[in-house]
Structure 1
Amino acid sequence: MYGGRTIGVVVPAYDEAGFVGEVLETIPDYVDRVYAVDDRSRDRTWLEITDRATRLNRDAAADRGRGTLVANDAAFGRRIVPIRHERNRGVGAAIATGYRRAVADGIDVTAVMAGDGQMDPAYLPALLDPIVDGEADYAKGNRLTDGVYRAEMPRFRLVGNAILTLLTRVASGYWRIGDPQNGYAAISRRALDALDLDAVYDRYGYPNDLLARCNAAGLRVADVPIPARYGDEESSIAYATYVPTVSALLVRTFVRRLARRYPFRKRHPVSLSYALGAFALGGSALEGVRWVLGRRSRASGRGSVALGRAAFLAIAGTALLALAARLEKRLNAPLEVLR
């Protein structure tokens, strides 16, 4: 237990042989239960999980018998719980599987530590504290808050992460939360009860989708500075498909979140401003096309009018979107916890 709360850790793993065993070994003793979820790996990941779980569970049982293990309740006789998907479903699905088991076991706070060893267990208390102290429902790591932390991240990841941070802020409504791709996080049982885990995105865009769903549910999110840690592991992300896929996901999550938090039928100023701004920018694009066609047909009069309309609509649309964003920042400020 930690701070009087039972703690669980989900370890999603896909082709992490040589790494996942060490992750299981280094999870702190105050963690009551570990859900090691193999997403149908092609290598020896599952064998490594089951072998290590057998030994660690045996050692934990021996410690309880000697009375030397006080962190874990006797109800959690099997501390490491190996779980294997029947087919590869994605990292988001693996985490959701662990979350469901944690809810079924009555775990108070559940964290995520990737099977590749990039998440330093020494920083787990920093994620647990905002939830245990009642400040937040969901706490996530942020590797971009400190120059020293940013220096540890490869440049191509840093640039991509900065872009996705901006897009995710718009899509999620958490305007002060950064590093949305960081999966090192902890969540309360209350938050898990409020979320539809079956609907959370299955693949690598799951942290972005989860943030938007947290906002739609009115959950408080803490941003916790945590340094990056990179070793010999290799990323399995295919960026050629990852970027467009996550971009499309962010558009869908943005629209879905607005529909839930600011129903258009109630004429909420946020949804109205976003809708009118998007409509104006769309009209600006059409007038721009008319201007181009007018120049080609040498209809200079019509072309000038179209250009003027395009400029006016562009300015109006940008102003409306900025107004909507400013309103959102004010409304969502109570849901953001900065550590």
Structure 2
Amino acid sequence: MYRNASVGVVLPAYNEEGFVGDVIREMPAYVDRIYAIDDRSTDGTWDEIREAARADATATDRGNGESVDRLVADGGASALTNRAAVHDAIGRVVPIKHTENRGAGGAIKTGYLAALTDGVDATVTVDADGQMDLSQMQRLLDPIVDGGADYAKGNRLLSREYRDAMPRFRFVGNAVLTFLTKIASGYWKTMDPQNGYTAISHDALAAIEVENLYEYYGYCNDLLVKLNVHGMRVADVAMPAVYGDEESSITYWRYIPKVSSMLLRNFLWRLKTKYLVLDFHPLALFYLFGAATATTGVLGVGVVVSAALSSPGTPAVGSVTSLLLFVAGTAFLLLAMVFDMAESDTLETQIQ
């Protein structure tokens, strides 16, 4: 328990032998449940999870043989759609093994479903590669326990010291996805959306339809969009990252296009659901009209340029009109963004 709130940790692991055991053994004593998900690893991750769980149970005096049925109702089998095997709990650790590899998002989803069924007050996500400073967990939990936020996430970009510690290629990829996620989610102050060090309240977890979460690394971006539609408050917490011998499994040249397409779909879904179905706000129409007008202008300029190149000396008829359409469309998009920022302003806070 942390300040009278039960705490669960979702620990997704894929080929994290040599790292996941240390993460389990170093987990703070106030954590009540550790949902350790082996995403069908091909190394010794599963054995290391169980070995570390036994060591943790001995160290924390939790090795009382308590059945997983008391920790997760019906063992989580119905919620996990038979794609995961939930084994007997070892102390506070609930070992879960995927029967197929489902990616980071799928593993997080499995842990969220187990924590939701268990009725945990605050659920934290921690990577199994040892990059996250577990002593910082309280800073994520405090906004949740205090009632000031429904979701708290680490942000490595709020401090220059933290930014300098991040490898350059990760920083550039992170900056691109931060901008795209701001537009898609409506959380315009939130940065570092790829940070997997997060905490979420039980109410927020129950509201977002966990079963429909994106099953890829973009799950964290997808989650932000769903939280915004439900009016959930997000806290961006300055957080250091620890980079050691582990290697990132993200291939950015594949990752960014794939997640970008998902964000575009989510953006359109958010506009429809939040500003047309649940309520009405003209910013949705401004977005759509602005995008259509600006695109028409760009296409018009392209046609004019193509004609001029194929027939030198041909008057650039329509170039001014196309340019005006582009400018007008851009103005409508910017106006829509201003309205969007205002709508979510009270839903965001930053904690240094």
Q: One fold, TM greater than 0.5?
A: yes
Take 1:194 and 1:261, find their aligned partners in 2: how far apart are those partners?
14
Q: 1:264 to 1:33 in 2, by over 3 A?
A: closer
* Structure 2 unmatched runs, 5+: 72-88
Q: 2:152 aligns with which of 139, 148, 161?
A: 139
Q: Could you say which residue in structure 1 is the equivalent of 2:84?
A: none
Q: Could you say which residue in structure 2 is the equivalent of 1:309?
A: 321
Question: Residues 12 and 38 of structure 1 are in contact (CA less than 8 Å); yes or no, is this contact kept in structure 2?
Answer: yes
Q: 1:219 aligns with which of 232, 235, 249?
A: 232
Q: Could you say which residue in structure 2 is the equivalent of 1:233?
A: 246
Q: Could you say which residue in structure 2 is the equivalent of 1:91?
A: 104
Q: 1:266 to 1:198 in 2, by over 3 A?
A: closer
Deviations 1:127-181 (A, max 9, x none): 0000000000000000000111111100111111111111110111000001001
| 1:165 matches 2:207 | no
Q: Could you say which residue in structure 2 is the equivalent of 1:185?
A: 198
Take 1:172 and 1:81, find their aligned partners in 2: how far apart are those partners?
32
Identity within the alignment, %: 49
Q: How many residues are aligned here?
A: 328
Deviation at residue 299 of structure 1 after TM alignment: 7.3
Q: 1:322 to 1:161 in 2, by over 3 A?
A: same
| 1:35 matches 2:35 | yes
1:112-131 to 2 correspondences below 5 Å = 112-131=125-144
Per the normalisation by structure 2, the TM-score is 0.89
| 1:152 matches 2:175 | no
Deviations 1:267-320 (A, max 9, x none): 62110100000110121122113312432345734x23x111111011001100
Deviation at residue 107 of structure 1 after TM alignment: 0.5
Q: 1:285 aligns with which of 291, 298, 310?
A: 298
Report the aligned-residue RMSD: 1.9
Take 2:278 and 2:266, find their aligned partners in 1: how far apart are those partners?
19
Question: Residues 143 and 179 of structure 1 are in contact (CA less than 8 Å); yes or no, is this contact kept in structure 2?
Answer: yes
Deviation at residue 57 of structure 1 after TM alignment: 2.5
Take 2:280 and 2:21, find their aligned partners in 1: how far apart are those partners?
53
Question: Residues 24 and 52 of structure 2 are in contact (CA less than 8 Å); yes or no, is this contact kept in structure 1?
Answer: yes
Q: Could you say which residue in structure 1 is the equivalent of 2:347?
A: 335
Q: Could you say which residue in structure 2 is the equivalent of 1:4?
A: 4
Q: 1:310 to 1:243 in 2, by over 3 A?
A: same
* Structure 1 unmatched runs, 5+: 66-74
Question: Residues 25 and 53 of structure 2 are in contact (CA less than 8 Å); yes or no, is this contact kept in structure 1?
Answer: no
Opposite residue 105 of structure 2, the aligned amino acid is G
The range that moved more, 55-64 or 158-167, is: 55-64
Q: Could you say which residue in structure 2 is the equivalent of 1:322?
A: 334
| 1:300 matches 2:288 | no
Opposite residue 173 of structure 2, the aligned amino acid is G
The range that moved more, 265-274 or 241-250, is: 265-274
Deviation at residue 248 of structure 1 after TM alignment: 1.1
Question: Residues 13 and 114 of structure 1 are in contact (CA less than 8 Å); yes or no, is this contact kept in structure 2?
Answer: yes
Question: Residues 135 and 337 of structure 1 are in contact (CA less than 8 Å); yes or no, is this contact kept in structure 2?
Answer: no
1:35-54 to 2 correspondences below 5 Å = 35-54=35-54
Question: Residues 264 and 271 of structure 1 are in contact (CA less than 8 Å); yes or no, is this contact kept in structure 2?
Answer: no
